[in-house]
Structure 1
Amino acid sequence: MAPSRSLYKESLPLISMITMEFFTVGLNTLFKAASLKGLGYYVFVAYTSIIAALLFLPFHLVFNRTIPLPQHKRPLFVRILLLGVIGFVGLVIGYKGIGFSSPTLAAAIGTLNPAFTFILAVMFRMERLSLSRPSSQAKIIGTVSSISGAIVVVLFKGPTILSTFSSPEELVAADGTSHSNYWLLGGLLIATEHLLFSLGYIVQAQVLKMYPAEFSVALYITMCTSAISLAASFVGETDIDAWILTNPDIKLAAVLYGGVFGGFLNTIVHTWCLHLEGPVFVAIFKPLSIAIAAAMGVVFLGDDLHLGSVAGAVVISAGFYGVIWGKAREGKEEMELAAVEDCGSPYHLGTSSTNSNSLPFLVNHT
């Protein structure tokens, strides 16, 4: 293998995924700081969605392959519209949850995505279960462990194990409400956000099966989310002054950062790494965000670090790796089963070279 090919295949995906975890946690931290300065959730979601859509358009025109739309377009567009609604609602309640709690809590609960996706995939018959197989047992145990850890994080804040002198949890919101009273509500909102995004993965898998043009689908979903965000946000935020971001302050920085790194670059990097290395590689970096968020929250926001967040994050991470291990094991079991069946067939022509782990996460059995 040539050195340049080895760098592309091994080093660049690793560096890209670690960098994106820093960018993602940085976005949550920056938004938290901007929200304390008066940036509204609706304004932030609307602006970042529009910026991401504008950036996707030229990228789509340059790199997208021409793939004709399916003959029956209505089911495709209905699902894209649904994804736009899910995206808008998920982002709004997710950022509200961060505003009520902390980026560290958001990072910990974020590792529930594989568990939620697994449960929904089973419900929609996109994932098969066999209790006699180690892969299914690992995924079930991992899912239960992840959800248990999330319950610990949300319900048990616990004593402070690392404190600062000026924690934003002691600040008071514009309506006079103390943020410290909303830790539970923030956790529930963030969990709901990830449940909606897991549902979005199921719908997006159906969309890509109907129209396998990744960048076109990403553009259409982003444009739909932008249109819905703009319309709904003008209803939710009627104060015209809240939409004016003329001064180069932290609010404007958060909006630009969210549009470029959160909405645009994050989608490109994850799509590229998923195609190159598979879903296990992409998902394995998620628990890294917990440590990053804790460090950034303490350093930049003055957050207190609580025992409940640490204990719950450990349990969630263990469950997360259980689900991922089970998924990887399942691919190996299916390859072994296919090899046995092919060898036993009188018309054996060889096994397929396609590994189930190279396919999009939980779309293998559609």
Structure 2
Amino acid sequence: MSSSVERWRAVAFLVAVEFGLALVHIFFKKALNAGTDHVIIVVYRQSIGTVFLIPFVYFLESWTKLTFGVVGRMFLCAFLGLTMAQYTFLLGLDYTTATFTCAFINTVPVITFLLALPLRMEKLNIRSRSGRAKVLGSMTCAAGAAILSIYKGMPLINMQHIGSNNNRPKRFGLGSALLSAASVTWSSWFLIQSRIGQKFPYQYSSTLIMSFFCAAQSAALSFATTRDTEKWVLGGELQILSVVYGGVVGSGICYAVMSWCVKQKGPVFTSAFSPLIQVFAAVFDILLLREQVYLGSVLGSTVVIAGMYVLLWGKSIDADQNQTATARDKTIVDEFSTQDSSHDIA
């Protein structure tokens, strides 16, 4: 019973996380349309997230297991999975739409699995049913990503009835390349965070430290690329609301919850809920941003999601087999223990 409750609690948490992150994407898209700098968004977002988490760390956790090795992994995790992932993601978002961007996020579970193979965090037996499902799912997801990158298709929404708030030109080719890079770096966060959680099981503290590293790294990147200090001044209520919400919800609450889910259920299970971002974002995209939805995005997203869940089906087969093997081994051990006790009594 407790295992079932734990599973459904993780599901509920992750659904809420994806809803919150979808709103983050919409807010950031509106901020980018208003002219806010990409790196400045990351700096403010992570700084606010760091400050927001301080009370939780102070009252709920300790840093007794923090070592130099763990700090080094956190720095690397922050650089790849937060700084570079967010920077390339925001660039891709600026060149495309929120719905299109979220479609690429759906490739994260498959990329996470492929990156986990050489690190021996995942196993693949091509002769087994689960192994063939994993290969088929990976290939299907790659095909969907290719459709997203090279095929735009016809528009599906009659924007004349609802109007349009954004007439900026789109560059889907360059945006696809940037979003692919963001997906790879974002996938690395799940893998490194999984290792960090084994050594340092404090979700709030881990999130706070990595948010601080990301803010410092992004500030250094900003000063290295531009010296225009006026970009640091947020121009209106929309920009301020975007970075505050992104910091508190996106970098604070959502990252802490995902860290907990990675620890409890593993990196692939946690990343499996990423398609929900696109569902939520598509609704917000049309109603709030008045963005167009194209056939290529729908087809590519459908293929990606299908491939992702074929991969997860293969993983569920492995999980069931491992659970059965564990139960069988426990039964054998109990039988031997019973026999030993009988001999001792005799």
The reply to whether residue 293 of structure 1 matches residue 281 of structure 2 is yes
Q: Which residue of 2 aligns with 1:154?
A: 149
Task: Report the AA paired with residue 143 of structure 2.
Answer: S
Deviation at 1:82, TM superposition (A): 1.3
Task: Report the AA paired with residue 196 of structure 2.
Answer: V
Match of 1:50 among 47, 51, 66: 47
Match of 1:82 among 76, 86, 94: 76
CA distance in 1 between counterparts of 2:335 and 2:4 reads 41
Question: 3-state SS of the aligned residue for 2:291?
Answer: coil
Q: Which residue of 2 aligns with 1:259?
A: 247
The reply to whether residue 330 of structure 1 matches residue 343 of structure 2 is no
Question: 3-state SS of the aligned residue for 1:80?
Answer: helix
Per-residue deviation, residues 202-243 of structure 1 (Å, max 9, x unmatched): 222233333333333222211111111122223334221211
Q: Which residue of 1 aligns with 2:124?
A: 129
Per-residue deviation, residues 160-203 of structure 1 (Å, max 9, x unmatched): 111314546632xxxxxxx22x1111122112111011122222
CA distance in 2 between counterparts of 1:123 and 1:10 reads 28
The reply to whether residue 109 of structure 1 matches residue 104 of structure 2 is yes
Alpha-carbon contact 1:164-1:298 (below 8 Å) kept:
no
Q: Which residue of 2 aligns with 1:216?
A: 205
Q: 1:212 to 1:325 in 2, by over 3 A?
A: same
Q: How many residues align?
A: 335
The reply to whether residue 92 of structure 1 matches residue 87 of structure 2 is yes
Alpha-carbon contact 2:46-2:215 (below 8 Å) kept:
yes
Q: 1:201 to 1:269 in 2, by over 3 A?
A: closer
Alpha-carbon contact 1:33-1:301 (below 8 Å) kept:
yes
Instruction: Tell me which protein shows more helix as a share of its residues.
Output: 2
Alpha-carbon contact 1:67-1:213 (below 8 Å) kept:
no
| TM-score for the superposition, normalised by structure 2 | 0.87
Q: Which residue of 2 aligns with 1:354?
A: none
Q: CA RMSD in A?
A: 2.8
CA distance in 2 between counterparts of 1:281 and 1:205 reads 12
CA distance in 1 between counterparts of 2:309 and 2:107 reads 11
Alpha-carbon contact 1:42-1:236 (below 8 Å) kept:
no
Alpha-carbon contact 1:287-1:317 (below 8 Å) kept:
yes
Question: 3-state SS of the aligned residue for 1:336?
Answer: helix
Q: In structure 1, list runs of 5 or more residues that go unmatched.
A: 172-178, 351-366
Task: Report the AA paired with residue 23 of structure 2.
Answer: G
Q: 1:78 to 1:101 in 2, by over 3 A?
A: same
Per-residue deviation, residues 253-284 of structure 1 (Å, max 9, x unmatched): 11111111110011233344556666676445
Q: 1:259 to 1:120 in 2, by over 3 A?
A: same
Q: Which residue of 2 aligns with 1:356?
A: none
CA distance in 2 between counterparts of 1:45 and 1:132 reads 45
Q: In structure 2, list runs of 5 or more residues that go unmatched.
A: 339-346
Task: Report the AA paired with residue 76 of structure 2.
Answer: L
Task: Report the AA paired with residue 120 of structure 1.
Answer: L
Per-residue deviation, residues 5-62 of structure 1 (Å, max 9, x unmatched): 9998687655543333222111111111111111110110000010011111221111
Question: 3-state SS of the aligned residue for 2:156?
Answer: strand
CA distance in 2 between counterparts of 1:77 and 1:288 reads 32
CA distance in 2 between counterparts of 1:104 and 1:153 reads 11
CA distance in 1 between counterparts of 2:336 and 2:3 reads 34
